[in-house]
Structure 1
Amino acid sequence: MTKYDFFPGKNVEQMQLLLKKGFEPLSMYDLVVKRLNVLGTYEEDLWWNTDFDTINGCVYYLDFSFKIVHDADFLKKMNKKTNLLNGSVILNNDLEGKVFIREEHIFNRNLSFEEAKVHECWIDFLRGNTKVLSDYVDAVWTKTDTGQVINNNMGIFLAPPEELLTGCAWHLSSINKHSDVGGDFYLNYENGLLVGKK
């Protein structure tokens, strides 16, 4: 049986504690699958009404493109002594992952139901598993349905690039915040929250 533990506070301080205790940090895929699995259980409110930081890295390039890095090593290595630039890790070399061009996709606004089902970033976050994405979109729209004509959710929000190659962690918001994803959260933010499993 999988055991979970929560590590609230600055990511740069909590990551090494999480690893030292033998946990692996959750990814966007892990969190989405967990949210789907707890639907209709006593754990539903906890997992759906909480904001989480992930082990998915967001790398920003000077040309405004960015990359999703799965199981980001630079996030696992960060600690309270890590040199940050505006809350992000300064990277010395490129990392493996798919590059996204901002002008080619929809960012910095919430998505329609149809847009969320096929958004390439969400597909990448969920490791190409379009069935999980489809089920999650269905669940999000069901939970946020207030009878209004317009119901948009699951937006992907980005920060501007720095003057150097930098990386931070992707953040998954609660259902009250439309299950948005942010690549604009500081690793030294006081109210961060990592989750580990083992």
Structure 2
Amino acid sequence: MTATDVTARPATAPVPLSTTAPAAFSWSARPVTEDDHAAVLDLFTEPDFYFRTQRPDTRPQWEILSLLDEDTRLLSADGRPVGLYALEAVGGEHACHYLLHLRLTARLRPDAWASAYRELIRALRWQREVVRLEVVIGEFDDRGLTAARQAGFTEEGVLAQHVVHDGHRRGSVFLSRIWEPTS
């Protein structure tokens, strides 16, 4: 992934979705800055923008911005902001196990989501050794689950009934990809 100046295009520029060809975007990522807050808040206007929260539509602006830390990256497709991701180390200092928080706009088709996952994984594995990469997705999040599965993540299990979603107790699905250690 390369740094891209996304200020040349408006944050709300539409991402082409209606073509029948597979999504072939030029993906890029960079740290979120104050100048990006309008674009980030726009992403959270989608009721299912589950970035570090199971209930994005109930969060005030200050709380949304508090979800962003120095590890949060703005993900762009062809220079247009389309999502956020962050990577957290899990386990021991040199375990090479990570938790990936990734959410993309609903304006992107599922194959574009899977493409973003694949490119992110490729970039992460180029930057560091990754033995296990985990994602946690609400069992009510069909779009997120479909994309993760299309990107090769395998289901490990469900933490049942710990979230209330649309008035019902629901769980979180744990998925992962695992590679042989190289060191």
Q: TM-score scaled to structure 2, two decimals? A: 0.29
Point out the structure with the larger helix share.
1
